[in-house]
Amino acid sequence: MKSREDIRNIAIIAHVDHGKTTLLNEMLKQSDTLPEHFQIQDRAMDTNAIERERGITILSKNTAVKYGKYQFNILDTPGHADFGGEVERVMKMVDGVLLVVDAFEGTMPQTRFVLKKALEQHLTPIVVINKVDRKGARPEEVVDEVLDLFIELGADEDQLDFPVIYTSAMNGTSSYDSDISTQKHTMKPLFDTIVKTIPAPVDNSDEPLQFQVAILDYNDYVGRIGIGRIFRGKIKVGDQVTVMKLDGSKKNFRVTKLFGFFGLKRLEIQEAEAGDLIAVSGMEDINVGETIVDPQHPDALPPLRIDPPTLQMTFRTNDSPFAGKDGEFVTARQLHDRLLRELHTDVSLRVEDTDDPGAWVVSGRGELHLSVLIETMRREGYEMAVSRPQVIFREVDGTRCEPFEEVQVDTPSEYAGAIIDSLNQRHGQMKDMKPDNNGQTRLEYLVPSRGLIGYSTEFMSMTRGYGILSHTFEKYAPVIKNWNPGRQKGALVSMNAGKATIYAMMGIESRGTLMIDPGTEVYEGMIVGENSRENDITVNITKGKNLTNVRAAGSDEAARIKTPAHLTLEESLEFLNEDEYCEITPKHIRLRKQILNTNAREKAAKHRKRGTN
């Protein structure tokens, strides 16, 4: 069978922060793709503002790199477990993968996840050991770890015979040898290995059309855009084609635009053929996994499997006393329309109506997945309130089950005991413990997802910021009964409205940790700190000092209080208990009780207590 020898379709896969996007940057720089003297910015494929700020890839990106007579169509994939849905889908579009592994950290939970998906699709792997210049790098040991992982995941003989390239993507160097002295400022070893190792796509462009959508994009001018691969045949602008829907129905439409990918650009093209990775517009409700075919030969490809969400939150309109002060979009209709628009491109997300017309249950793949959506919306001018994240329980063979995650911890050995104790308390099951000669210990656990909600902040405190915590969804297993892993400490809750005073804060800070600054506007029911004990306490944080002839008001400025703990969005979501909301506006993140009135809240708490006794 003929092949398109000038093309290679590959995905770059790795654990988060192992250097995929930086490596792709160097491939773009050192190929024949960009104009001479073109200045490419760091991590150019991470175009989303949140991606650039956090240093993570959230959405899969397409590009094409020119190397001599060859074109490498490359997909840069996310490394974080919460965006694993992006990784699963792109595996169908490619013939091989570059598995990037940090020469110091070695194989991590997400390395296992992405490699497993690649091997399931029988893709040809090339292993790239990156960051060989990092202090403490152990490239040869890491190659052995990778080989063990291939064997463990059931790789066949051809896959086990993978080539290895050693790189420092940050420096733009590579070589065939683990010895750092052999590194040269070139990506030629990697480019040549791709040409030699990754199979070229089959050229069956003379057969009837089959194009499968793997990624969605959306454009206000052309609507929904389906990105995927042509597996068979040709497609042209103006063609009448049929979409084989996931529900078994068929819909006809005319192709209005086709786009190809080259360098950092998406270019309009007039036609494409088998083996090409392209984008198609013309049908408004096209979905991931659906097949575009020749109307005379309606043969659908098998649908793409997407792991379901494991975590959910309630999103609702903001009804606090400060509602509407910051936001441009505050109504239930605006919030609902925005959530539905997110479904145009994010197939791992679910949005369900509730009995309350101003509230929706939004389900995703993890805390980061949902917090990125919240952060995006607040930057766009939306206001909302969100509940504590909850895991999604599921019936499996008649048994109520909950999600469990594979957890890997790398920590200085002196903190290992505290981490083991904390994970055991969260019903974690230790699978392995590996101390090394550098004072580090690697712990491997199976932990219920419920136990990991809110854990990362505690983990960073325990390890003084030196620990690395990674986790990825493993399986559903029977629910652990009579266990509520929520926050162990109560909240300090404002009993009235006004501005927080230094005088009041001085009297309150002995009871716990304050979370707001002096002068902050507060309302009744707003959380202003964490109690040092289990119960909630209502406090008067707006109380002022009575003035006398002896003391002037300015003398309070000399008073000193401890620096309040300012929580990030993720920390605020982790802090929440079941009777609390996080109020999100473009300018503020506030924690509050669901019932704001102090008397009504205390009555509800007594009622709940009676109900549980």
- 201-245 pLDDT, tens per residue? 999 999 999 999 888 777 767 777 888 899 999 999 999 999 998
Question: Is 549 annotated as belonging to a binding site?
Answer: no
Give the bridge partners for 212, in sequence order. Answer: 229, 291
Between 33 and 214, residue with greater pLDDT: 214
Question: Is 369 annotated as belonging to a binding site?
Answer: no
Say whether pLDDT at 495 is over 70: yes
- Are the CB atoms for 237 and 255 separated by under 8 Å? yes
Question: Is 18 annotated as belonging to a binding site?
Answer: yes
Each residue of 299-322: pLDDT tens digit?
888 887 676 788 899 999 999 999
Between 267 and 271, residue with greater pLDDT: 271
Return the closest-CA partner of residue 452 out of 362, 367, 351, 342: 367
- The phi and psi torsions of 257 (rounded to 5 degrees) equal -145, 150
Q: What is the mean pLDDT of residues 452-470?
A: 81
Each residue of 316-370: pLDDT tens digit?
999 999 999 998 999 999 999 999 988 877 777 899 999 999 999 999 887 878 8
> Quick one: how far is CA 487 from the chain centroid?
24
Instruction: Give the burial class of 410: count Cβ atoms within 10 A of its Cβ; 0-12 exposed, 13-18 middle, 19 or more buried.
Output: buried
Question: Is 132 annotated as belonging to a binding site?
Answer: yes
Per-residue tokens: 402: 């909950």
| Model confidence band, residue 81 (pLDDT cutoffs 50, 70, 90) | low
Give the bridge partners for 100, in sequence order. Answer: 14, 128
- Are the CB atoms for 256 and 283 separated by under 8 Å? no
Return the closest-CA partner of residue 573 out of 322, 414, 389: 389
Say whether pLDDT at 288 is over 70: yes
Provide the pLDDT for residue 558. 41
In order of their start, the domains of the chain are 7-197 (3.40.50.300), 210-293 (2.40.30.10), 311-391 (3.30.70.870), 394-478 (3.30.70.240), 491-546+555-612 (2.40.50.250)
Q: What is the mean pLDDT of residues 500-529?
A: 91
Give the bridge partners for 134, in sequence order. Answer: none
- Are the CB atoms for 528 and 561 separated by under 8 Å? no
Question: Is 130 annotated as belonging to a binding site?
Answer: yes
Question: Is 22 annotated as belonging to a binding site?
Answer: yes
Say what the pTM is. Answer: 0.76
Each residue of 568-579: pLDDT tens digit?
888 888 888 888
Say whether pLDDT at 398 is over 70: yes
Tell me the C-alpha distance between 483 and 447, whole Å.
Answer: 13
Say whether pLDDT at 48 is over 50: no
Question: Is 294 annotated as belonging to a binding site?
Answer: no
Looking at the chain, the whole-number percentage of residues with pLDDT higher than 70 is 89
Tell me the C-alpha distance between 586 and 341, whole Å.
Answer: 19
Question: Is 438 annotated as belonging to a binding site?
Answer: no
Amino acid found at 69: K
Say whether pLDDT at 111 is over 90: no
Provide the pLDDT for residue 53. 46
Range from 216-230, 472-486, 581-595 carrying the lowest mean pLDDT: 216-230
Provide the pLDDT for residue 52. 40
Q: What is the mean pLDDT of residues 404-420?
A: 89
Question: Is 73 annotated as belonging to a binding site?
Answer: no
Looking at the chain, the whole-number percentage of residues with pLDDT higher than 90 is 39
Between 409 and 38, residue with greater pLDDT: 409
